[in-house]
Amino acid sequence: MSTHATESFPARPSAKLFITDELSARPHNRHKPGAERLAVRQLLGKMVDAPDEVMPLMVAQALDLTQASASGLSILDDSQDPPVFRWQHLNGALARFEGALTPRDNSPCGETLDRNAPLLCRHPERAYDWIAAHDLVIPEVLLVPIRIGKEPAHGTLWVVASHEDQFDSEDLRILTELADLVAVARKMQQDKLRLQEALEQQAMIAREMDHRVKNLFALTQAMIEMSARHATSPAELARTLTGRLQALARAHAMPEQTAETQDQRPDGMNRAELTTLIQASLEAHTSLSDPGRVSCKGETILLGPQSTTSLALLFHELTTNSVKYGALGSEHGRVRVVWDPCDNELVICWKETGGPRLEGPPARQGFGTRLMQQVLRGPLKGKLDKAWQSEGLMVTVRVLRDRLAN
């Protein structure tokens, strides 16, 4: 079979291709109940002790129990255009095609999914040129759809006969039962993957919360020191510090406020605006007596809830680092943020000047940088580059424009 999904050939007229109705009329002469019971015990043992080995074992047992010449799984991959089947766990005469890609809409497997029923196909190479192109002669192939619960079928379990009229209704029963077990095994794999992702996300959230609480104490201390330097009286200090803390709270609350009010707009989604988001993140750290310390310039960019959350966290980290190590921690430091569309991306440039002179990048990458990179790799499909210039840090952020509305 072809290993390239792009090799798709038109079907040729043929004699009767699908002969599933013949199965019930054929005699049963190979059924071995003892072998089936042994196979089931082996599968149940693997599900408990080695679940990752269950599907390869099932496909091998399909080959043995039906006395086929080849067996395998074809799993639908609809992320490609056009969709394809990926061949997995192949046994027997077609084992060399492990990992092959075959067209979804021009194949016996695709026909099985379309009909949502088992199929017996006679000499598919007479109808599908992409099979004939590899000089394959397939007397019969029996295919059974694989589905998890009530979801649409997402693949097939199949066996290839060594001669015509080989398979019968007992082979169909065996293959159907094995396909049901394959579906259970795939569901177990999916649940295991989701659990791992949930645990990783939980650990990430815990680390993020710990990191942000520590940053919050550092930011509060920095704001008190900055406010005290400019205050001429206790009343002014209280007023200035209160304003900064409220601005910090607004920056932290903006994503949650967006999510809570998203059903109030006609389109069902409340959208923050990029300038407002950046200013809310920076306002808590700029001197009210010198509003020129921070400047933002760029066209109006509306943000959906997910991108608001991601960018709020990003600018929170940039601002925190600037207060702790860069321009915003210095009395005369400046930050300039500009953004421009570039093809299918939005390019955001964060430029610091007037802070401590930089000699180069830090010796190790901090958690804040790793967090920003992970945030950008998520829904925004973006990336971040840092340049430690002597006059100050410059950060370039690139995100996909069509992701900003999410």
Domain 247-403 CATH superfamily? Histidine kinase-like ATPase, C-terminal domain (3.30.565.10)
- State the pTM of this model: 0.48
Q: Does domain 20-192 have CATH number 3.40.190.10?
A: no
Which H helix or E strand runs over 75? Answer: strand 70-77
pLDDT of residue 2: 41
The whole-number mean pLDDT for each consecutive block of 10 residues of the chain, a chain of 406 residues, reads 42 68 84 61 62 79 91 92 93 94 92 94 92 91 88 91 92 88 72 76 74 65 65 75 62 52 43 81 62 84 77 80 85 90 90 88 71 75 88 92 82
Domain locations in the chain?
A: 20-192, 247-403
20-192 and 247-403 share one fold? no
* d(C-alpha 129, C-alpha 12), whole Å: 7
- Residues paired with residue 84 on neighbouring β-strands, in sequence order: 77, 103
- Residues paired with residue 384 on neighbouring β-strands, in sequence order: 397
Strand order from edge to edge, sheet including 294-297 = 294-297, 334-342, 345-353, 392-400, 383-389
